C-alpha cells in the first residue's frame, strides 16, 4: 500500500489538485480517473495566481476506487519515449484526520490517457485546469 496526501474541501470531503503542462523540453501532470473510466469533474478551477504547469490548477472530489495518475518526462508524451514516466494508484481508503489516502499501484498505460489530457500536458506553460477534468 502507498500513502497519498490529499486535501479536504470546506465540507470535509476528500479532494485532490489536478493539472499540468510543459516547459521547453519537459512535461508533468496529474489527473484522476473515476471507477467508470472517465475524467473526474472539477469542483473548483483556479483562475488566478501561479498557474503555469501546476498540478493544482483544478480541484476534484475523490472516492474509493478512483485512479490517480501522475505523468512526467521529456517530450514527446507517449509510451515509446524511454524518458516518459507514469504512476497510477487506486484509492482503497481515506484517513481524513491525517489527510491521507491508502492506495495500491495499478496498471495504467499511456494509451489510456485521454486525448484532452495529452493536449494539456503538451501545451507550453499551460495555465488551464480544464484539460484535466471532465
Tell if the pTM clears 0.85, that is, is over it: yes
Domains annotated on the chain, with CATH: 2-132 (2.60.40)
Q: Mind listing the pLDDT tens digit for each residue in 23-53?
A: 889 999 999 999 999 999 998 877 666 666 6
Q: Mind listing the pLDDT tens digit for each residue in 76-133?
A: 888 899 999 999 999 999 999 999 999 999 999 999 999 999 998 888 877 777 888 8
Residue 125 near residue 28 (C-beta atoms within 8 A): no
Rounded CA-CA distance 94/102 in Å is: 6
Residue 39 near residue 114 (C-beta atoms within 8 A): yes
Q: Which residue has the higher pLDDT, 54 or 75?
A: 75
Amino acid at each position: 500500500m502507498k500513502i497519498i496526501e490529499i486535501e479536504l474541501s470546506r465540507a470535509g470531503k476528500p479532494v485532490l489538485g489536478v493539472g499540468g503542462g510543459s516547459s521547453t523540453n519537459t512535461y508533468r501532470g496529474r489527473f484522476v480517473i473515476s471507477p467508470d473510466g472517465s475524467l473526474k469533474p472539477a469542483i473548483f478551477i483556479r483562475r488566478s495566481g501561479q498557474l503555469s504547469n501546476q498540478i493544482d490548477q483544478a480541484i476534484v472530489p475523490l472516492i474509493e476506487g478512483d485512479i490517480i495518475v501522475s505523468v512526467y518526462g521529456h517530450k514527446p508524451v507517449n509510451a515509446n519515449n524511454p524518458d516518459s514516466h507514469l504512476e497510477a494508484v487506486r484509492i482503497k481508503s481515506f484517513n481524513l484526520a491525517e489527510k491521507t489516502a491508502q492506495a495500491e499501484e495499478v496498471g495504467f498505460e499511456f494509451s489510456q490517457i485521454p486525448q484532452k489530457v495529452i493536449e494539456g500536458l503538451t501545451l507550453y506553460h499551460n495555465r488551464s485546469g480544464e484539460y484535466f477534468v471532465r
